[in-house]
A and B are shown apart, each in its own frame.
Chain A
């Protein structure tokens, strides 16, 4: 009990309290470090000790209907340098700069002066500059050559790139990737959601001395995800052949540009969409900016006489005529306020509907067209897919312009009649192909398809196109139109220029003007041929348009393209030649 008196209870309590408080401070701090701010500190420590690198999620391929790769992801390298170090080295070892610049220039295929200019310019901008691009997106071979030089002030960094193995084949559709990795135009831009990969990140600890990863320390910060594979309905081989045929003809007739659309008549799938000039996506800058897209989708034009087939189908569908119904077609008629004439002067002719199509008579077609109400004609146009963008949804796709519809047509007779033979309204090449697909497919329109779908890394497929058929005109009306177009093919003025021996073909020519975008028309003409074969069981639709054929400003410019493309299509898909001859239909009465 003596001890208790020596250390009174109060002091014990105070000492104990102090001790507890002291321990409590540590506990609180410990909890704060280990629990509350653990993530923060861990991350900070990780940053100091570990080395993280990007794992690139490769951009998905674009493949054609048969799996041929049209756009492929590759690894490219950006070559960079440190201007500051280059200068410092030069001070130590005079002459090395010139020597290394020459070697680098040779390795990269650029002039040595360019290397020196890059260094000088960066140093001029910032005397302490430690980073400048020497070359972007060089291929592996060039990278290896540069690496072999072992220039101490030259570095490289990975930079995913894109190549298009088939060059300009379908370049109009694909678009391209800029040097900065951004999709530009075409499907690269439109389908970026499918194609784009997600870059991942991996971190690991490494030895300080030689930068070797310490086993077991590799940690995936973020999983890389490759992009999906985009499959098109395009056939690359056919696309190439079509582009070749069209390019040869465009050059031959001195045209400004041309378009060919090949479509599967049963499914509405686009098998080839050629635009000339075509961009080579590997080198987009070598093509003029306005030629880098696809005019087939984006450039609306007045279809002209190819449109008469649609009006004829509307008239037949409404039961207002049959292929042998007759009218008297003069050179000029003036219904209401309209003034309509044919392209060349002729005396009054007694033409059947078939004959109107064969002679491509505007006055004759007007007399048939007015038998159908404007409302009905307009509805048929919409059902044919005119006046709205196609289901493809191509970047900058045009809708075409039906010039106001029946309400406006009622106030303007010229427009009312002009729209019967394809003037006063605009369509795209793809829309015309789709309308002919409807006629070929017994009056049933299939949605236009360019993309089959996007296959993701896990095997799932998204973005499958809509395949809902739509009956536009009756099968009888469509088949009668086909029979009439066969007579056009056999008896029209181009009969000997587009003849494809062994096959029955339905086709129609057209000559039209193109809107200049400022309310008027350009003075040059767009000459076209649209048709399908074999007419006894239509399989393929081909639509050809050539703009401003200087040496031959008529449909004769596009007829050989139609013939060559169609026979190539029929040959490629092993289409059995037609057996029976085309049915006879009188052209006059």
Chain B
């Protein structure tokens, strides 16, 4: 840029005294002063860097925190799954036919092998009614199940005085009686 005006100058003549160049000097225009570096840019740039670093730190801390939380939850999950398995296995043993049958027998139930049907359309009795044969053999050992060896019978807590369980002669306790309020029996409110 600066070379261009120089080329336009006439070549100095020989012997002629040099023209005073001072007249051609002038101050750098104000425009240059207007382009001084703005501190705001630096602040923004630095601020952004700090912000990113801080965010990364926070995220990293949160993630680490989360990792430990996740780990403890996993441990908890494993524990709960084990508990579920223990309870599930217990339930399986309880609902096995062997367990149901020995409890039913313990409560004095016997199977009736001759079913009788009542036909609703004409009230006809199909089949020949017969009393259930008592004293069915204890079925427990016939179809073994090693899982129920330690499972207590349903009535064991109160079977102390009636170990055979053949006849349930205990009178029902008061707790079993329905509670009837004095006065009129409650009736449903229907409209």
Evaluate contact between A165 and B147: CB separation under 8 angstroms: yes
Knowing A167-B98, A502-B116, say if A141 contacts B146 (CB, 8 Å).
Answer: no
Decide yes or no whether A140 CB sits under 8 A from chain B. yes
Decide yes or no whether B127 CB sits under 8 A from chain A. yes
Evaluate contact between A214 and B67: CB separation under 8 angstroms: yes
Decide yes or no whether B128 CB sits under 8 A from chain A. yes
* Residue from the set A143, A215, A236 with the largest chain B CB neighbour count within 10 Å: A215
Decide yes or no whether A291 CB sits under 8 A from chain B. no
Evaluate contact between A280 and B126: CB separation under 8 angstroms: no
Evaluate contact between B97 and A237: CB separation under 8 angstroms: yes
Knowing A236-B97, A567-B114, say if A501 contacts B127 (CB, 8 Å).
Answer: yes
Decide yes or no whether B148 CB sits under 8 A from chain A. yes
Shortest beta-carbon distance from B61 to chain A in Å: 12
In chain A, positions 233-257 with a C-beta closer than 8 Å to chain B are: 236-237, 240-241, 243-244, 247-248, 251
Evaluate contact between B96 and A244: CB separation under 8 angstroms: no
Shortest beta-carbon distance from A248 to chain B in Å: 5
What are the residues of chain B within 8 A of A502 when measuring CB–CB? 114-116, 126-128
Decide yes or no whether B164 CB sits under 8 A from chain A. no
Evaluate contact between A212 and B71: CB separation under 8 angstroms: yes
Q: What is the CA–CA distance of A286 and B95 in the complex, to the nearest angstrom?
A: 23
Decide yes or no whether B155 CB sits under 8 A from chain A. no
* Per-position 1/0 for B145-166, Cβ under 8 A of A: 1111000000000000000000
What are the residues of chain B within 8 A of A241 when measuring CB–CB? 97
Evaluate contact between A169 and B85: CB separation under 8 angstroms: no
Shortest beta-carbon distance from B148 to chain A in Å: 7
Evaluate contact between B92 and A72: CB separation under 8 angstroms: yes
**Total interface residues in chain A, CB < 8 Å:** 48
Shortest beta-carbon distance from A291 to chain B in Å: 12
Evaluate contact between B86 and A140: CB separation under 8 angstroms: yes
Evaluate contact between A169 and B143: CB separation under 8 angstroms: yes
Evaluate contact between A167 and B71: CB separation under 8 angstroms: no
In chain A, positions 57-97 with a C-beta closer than 8 Å to chain B are: 69, 72, 74-75
Q: What is the CA–CA distance of A579 and B126 in the complex, to the nearest angstrom?
A: 8
Interface bracket on B = 35 or more
Shortest beta-carbon distance from A280 to chain B in Å: 5
Residue of B nearest to A237 (CB): B97
Knowing A144-B82, A567-B113, say if A501 contacts B71 (CB, 8 Å).
Answer: no
Evaluate contact between B142 and A139: CB separation under 8 angstroms: no
What are the residues of chain A within 8 A of B71 when measuring CB–CB? 212-213
Residue of B nearest to A248 (CB): B137
Knowing A215-B67, A278-B143, A567-B113, say if A166 contacts B96 (CB, 8 Å).
Answer: yes
What are the residues of chain B within 8 A of A244 when measuring CB–CB? 101, 139, 142-143
What are the residues of chain A within 8 A of B137 when measuring CB–CB? 248
Decide yes or no whether A500 CB sits under 8 A from chain B. yes
Evaluate contact between A247 and B143: CB separation under 8 angstroms: yes
Decide yes or no whether A163 CB sits under 8 A from chain B. yes
Evaluate contact between B146 and A568: CB separation under 8 angstroms: no
* B89 touches which of A74, A501, A503, A576 (Cβ 8 Å): A74
* B97 touches which of A166, A286, A570 (Cβ 8 Å): A166
Decide yes or no whether A571 CB sits under 8 A from chain B. yes
What are the residues of chain B within 8 A of A163 when measuring CB–CB? 89, 92, 147
* Per-position 1/0 for A193-234, Cβ under 8 A of B: 000000000000001000011110000000000000000000
Across the A-B interface, give the 5 residue pairs with the lowest CB-CB distance, nearest first.
Answer: A167-B145, A502-B127, A165-B92, A501-B128, A247-B142
| Given A163-B89, A576-B126: 8 more A-B contacts, CB < 8 Å | A72-B92, A163-B92, A167-B148, A168-B144, A214-B67, A280-B144, A501-B127, A571-B115
Chain B residues within CB distance 8 Å of chain A: 63, 66-68, 70-71, 82, 85-86, 89, 92-93, 95-98, 101, 113-117, 126-128, 130, 137, 139, 142-148
Interface pairs (29), CB distance under 8 Å: A74-B89, A75-B82, A139-B86, A140-B86, A143-B82, A163-B89, A163-B147, A165-B92, A165-B96, A165-B147, A166-B145, A167-B98, A167-B145, A168-B143, A169-B143, A213-B67, A213-B70, A237-B97, A240-B97, A240-B143, A241-B97, A243-B143, A244-B142, A247-B143, A278-B144, A282-B147, A283-B146, A567-B113, A570-B115
